[in-house]
Structure formats: C-alpha cells, structure tokens
Amino acid sequence: MESNKNFVLGVFDDEDVLLHAVESVRGKGVKIHEVYSPFPVHGLDEVLGYKRTRLPIAAFLFGMTGTSLALIMQIWMLGFDWPMIIGGKNFASLPPFIPVTFELTVLLSALGMVATFLIVSDMKPYKWPQQFDLRSTDDKHIMAIDLANNKLDKSAIGAILKESGAQEVNDKNF
C-alpha cells in the first residue's frame, strides 16, 4: 500500500559520527527532515542550519510584563486606591516594593517562556508525536529524510546515508 508520506531513516549510535554525517548528507544537497536524539547533541542545530531560537526574547518580554504589572499593582493599591500610613512611610515608596516586583518578574518570565516553548514546539498532552523509530528515545539517533522534499530516490539517499556512517537504513511510511 502506498501511503502519502515516505521517509528514509538513517540510524546512528554515536553523536560524533552523526554530526559528520549531517554535514556530509547536507553537503550532497539532501534535505534533512529532522534528527531525533535521546539527549541534546551539542552543535547539531548548527550543522542542521537552524536559526537560533528567539525564546530568550520571549522570556525577557514576559519578565518585563511581570515587573510592570507588579509595580503598577503595588503603587496603585497602596498609593492611590487606599493609601494607608504604615510606620510613617510614604504611601508609595519603592524599596519595600522590590521583593514582590522581583518575584513577579521571575514568575511571569518563567511561566511565559515555558508556555511559549510548548506552543511553538506544538507539544500537548493529548498529542502523539510522529514516531519514526522508538529507539530514538533510548540509545539511537535517527536522521529522517522526507522523500517528497528530495529529488533523489530512495536507494540513492540510502547509499549516501550508508556512506556517511549510518548503522542501518530503514523506510518509514505514515
């Protein structure tokens, strides 16, 4: 039965071999769909040509939101809405507001960034990921190549993968 999505998988068990393989496969003009690893392989995002993530910017913006909300809340509540004399201090003085402002900055930054991460990575509790090879969470690195995105045929890509050090070359259809 012919299904609509056909992939060729290269199976690697060593991250150094994998990194060189990604370079040589991309050097031959083959487009890689994605590489699945059991642990983060440093430098893999660079050889795959991924742009740096902008999550730090999201974290910063959420953090600034927290800072502003905390300051506005405290100054408005104690300075304007219901001013009270506490220990003879000013209604709205900055130093006692620092702890709550700091905590809310950290809280919003952390929660906002993690929420952004889950959304951009399309991760949800009720979603099953595309599982190319179950060993990719155990001890193998799986390089998936989408045949629809490449001009070369299955056997040519398989040969390139073998040449670059893949232990096995498999097919996967969805």
Partner 1 sequence: MQVSSSLRESLITGGKTVGDVSEDISRQVEGKPTQLWWMAFGVSTVLLLFGVYCMSITLWEGIGKWGLNKTVGWAWDITNFVWWVGIGHAGTLISAILLLFRQKWRMSINRAAEAMTIFAVICAASFPLIHMGRLWLGFYWALPLPNAFGSLWVNFNSPLLWDVFAISTYFTVSLVFWYMGLIPDFAVIRDRAVRMGHKTRAAVYNAMSFGWSGGAKTWMRYESVALILAGLSTPLVLSVHTIVSFDFATSVIPGWHTTIFPPYFVAGAIFSGFAMVLTLLLITRKVFKLEDYITIYHVELMNIIIIVTGSIVGIAYITEFFIAWYGQVPAEQYAFINRAFGPYWWSYWCMMTCNVISPQLFWIKKIRTSLVSTFVLSIIVNIGMWFERFVIIVTSLHRDYLPSSWSMFYPTMYDLGEYILTFGFFFCAFLLFAKFFPVINMAEVKSIIKSSSEKKH
Binding site for partner 1 (CB under 8 A): 13-17, 19, 34-45, 48, 50, 53, 55-56, 59, 73-74, 77-78, 81-82, 84, 86-87, 89, 96-97, 99-100, 102-104, 106-107, 109-111, 113-114, 117-118, 120-121, 123-131, 134-139
d(CA 105, CA 172): 46
CB of 25 to partner 1, least distance (A): 13
Tokens encoding 32: 């890689």
Taking the least distance from each CB to partner 1, the nearer of 48 and 152 is: 48
> Alpha-carbon distance 78 to 91, whole Å?
6
Q: Which is nearer to partner 1, 54 or 162 (CB)?
A: 54
Question: Shortest gap between Cβ of 14 and partner 1 (angstroms)?
Answer: 5
Length of the chain: 174
Least Cβ distance, residue 153 to partner 1 (angstroms): 25
Of 103 and 153, the one with the shorter C-beta distance to partner 1 is: 103
DSSP 150-167: -SS-HHHHHHHHHHTT-S
CB 28 within 8 A of CB 147: no
Closer residue to partner 1, CB minimum distance, 111 or 148: 111
CB of 170 to partner 1, least distance (A): 16
Minimum CB distance to partner 1 smaller for 16 or for 153: 16
Q: Using alpha carbons only, give the angle 7, 9, 13 rounded to the nearest 5 degrees.
A: 165
Taking the complex as a whole, how short is the minimal distance between the CB of residue 155 and partner 1, in angstroms? 25
